[in-house]
Amino acid sequence: MIKRVFLLFSGLVLGLMPQLALAQGPGGGYEGIASIYFTFIGLILIYGVHDIFGKKVGRISIIPIAGVLYYLLPG
């Protein structure tokens, strides 16, 4: 279980690295730090759904949770 969570987390972090590497000029925004916060929030929500409702519902919930958090990102 820990190995799968680690692989999921590392995949998400590596998937977001190109987005986080885009530098902004002076007075930039909150896109980088917001994506990091939303990634952690998403991981916690997905783990909670998996823990409470089981493996099948936990895997199904990944797509809606990730979609909602993506649309909530600023910018």
pLDDT tens by residue, 27-73: 666 777 888 888 888 889 888 998 889 888 888 888 888 888 888 87
| Those residues with Cβ within 8 angstroms of residue 64's Cβ, 6 or more apart along the chain or in another chain | none
Query: Position of tokens 């916690």?
Result: 44
Mean pLDDT of 15-30: 59
Q: Report the candidate in 40, 29, 31 with the shortest Cα–Cα distance to residue 65.
A: 40
C-beta neighbour count of 2 within 10 angstroms: 6
pLDDT bin (cut points 50, 70, 90) of residue 1 is: confident
Mean pLDDT of 5-27: 63
In angstroms, the first-to-last Cα distance of the chain is 35
